Amino acid sequence: MKLKSLAVLLLLCLFSPAAQAVKVQKLPFVSDFHMGVSNGVGFGLDFGFDAGIDLWGIKLGPEIEQLILDVDYSASINATRYGGYLTLPLTRDLNLNLHAGSTNFQVTKANVRYTVDGTVYTLPMDQKYSATYQAVSLDYILGDYKLSPKLVYNMVAGQGVFLREFDFNLARSF
């Protein structure tokens, strides 16, 4: 139902006289591709893409990220994140980023056992899971490239616990 309402709203915007006055080529679009390492329940690689609009130095838009993690050399986690970001400039070479969205992932090869605050949890293998995430990161700008450490909190649906994760990415702006 939400998707249908969004589609109707977009069509109304496209055909309204006010929307026709906006020229897409005048909007300041931004995007980047990033690759890095991720460490939390498992250790592995992450890569992703984000795009958005730059409004007076504040950037916002959607992001997508893929994570491939190894857990204790026995299990694997393959996760995809869909969400959005907001970038706030702190200095000329430093940005603060806020991220939020949802994650879908699957555990393969073996069950994943993890401990949070002394309690042991298990994610059985060959099941699909969903989670929400919230993250904060910093961009250290080096020309067209950025170094971005990111702290992520994942809330796995049905588990009732936050999983901490640390990512370190190298990004290229386009």
User: Residues 84, 101: contact at Cβ < 8 Å?
Assistant: yes
**What is the reported pTM?**
0.79
CATH number at residue 79: 2.40.160.20
Residue-wise pLDDT for 40-91, tens only, equals: 888 999 999 999 998 888 999 999 999 999 988 888 999 999 999 999 999 9
Does some domain include residue 73? Answer: yes
- Does 21 reside within a domain? no
Q: Is residue 8 assigned to a domain?
A: no
Distance CA 35, CA 66 (A): 10
Q: Does residue 174 carry a pLDDT above 70?
A: yes
Whether 130 is covered by a domain: the verdict is yes
Cα–Cα distance for residue pair 104/44, rounded to 1 Å: 16
Q: What per-residue confidence (pLDDT) applies to 21?
A: 52
| Per-residue CA distances from 94 to 30, 36, 134, 140 (Å) | 16, 19, 20, 5
Please state, in angstroms and rounded to a whole number, the distance separating the CA atoms of residues 82 and 74. 27
Has residue 107 been placed in a domain? yes
Quickly tell me which residue has 């977009």 as its tokens: 10
Number of domain units in the chain: 1
- What pLDDT, on the 0 to 100 scale, is given for residue 26? 60
